[in-house]
Amino acid sequence: MSDDIPERREMIRSTAITTILTVAFMIIALTLWAWTSLSEVETSPIDILNDFNPYVTILIEALTMLGVFIFLSVTVFNLRLFISNIRAGWLEVIVIFILVIAMSWLMFGSGVGGVSAVLSLGFVVYLYLLQE
C-alpha cells in the first residue's frame, strides 16, 4: 500500500459512498431479521425461501452481514484517514469484526453468526495480504 494520502475531496466522496452502502446493507439485514422473527405473518419471503431450501436464507443473511462488515470497515478506515491523516490499524478491524459478528449472532442465530465470521475473516485475510 502506498503512503500517499488521497485528496480530501476523494476521501469525502469515498466515505459518503461507503456510508450509503453500509446503511443499505444494514437496512436489508434488518428487513431479513424482521421477516425471520415475525411469527404472526403466515407467509413471508423468508418462509418461501425456507420452503425452497433452508440454506439459501442462511447464505443470504450471511452475505448481507459480510456486506455490512466490508463497507463499515472501509468507512471507518476512510474516516480515520480523513480526520487524523493516520491509517487505521488492526484495532479498528478487530472491533468492527466483533461488533458485526455479535450483531449477526444476535439477529440471526449461531449458524449465520458463524458463517459471517468465516466470511469476514476471509476479508480480514485479504486486508492483511494487501499490506505485503
Quick check: 39 pLDDT over 80? Answer: no
Tell me which of 63 and 51 has the higher pLDDT.
63
Of residues 6 and 53, more confidence is placed in 53
CA distances, 24 to each of 9, 28, 38, 86, 97 (Å): 23, 6, 21, 27, 18
Q: What is the pLDDT of residues 59-114, one digit of tens each?
A: 999 999 999 999 999 999 889 888 888 887 889 999 999 999 999 999 999 999 99
pLDDT confidence of residue 41: 58
* Domain residue spans of the chain: 8-131
If phi > 0 it is left, if psi is from -120 to 50 it is alpha, else beta; for residue 53 that is: beta
Instruction: Give the pLDDT score at 2.
Output: 53
pLDDT at residue 99 in the model: 96
For residue 119, pLDDT beyond 80: yes
- Determine which helix (DSSP H) or strand (DSSP E) holds 89, and give its type and residue range: none
Amino acid identity of 112?
V
Q: What is the mean pLDDT of residues 2-9?
A: 69
pLDDT in the model for residue 104: 95
List CB contacts of 50: < 8 A, sequence separation 6 or more: 57
Q: How confident is the prediction for the chain on average, in pLDDT?
A: 87
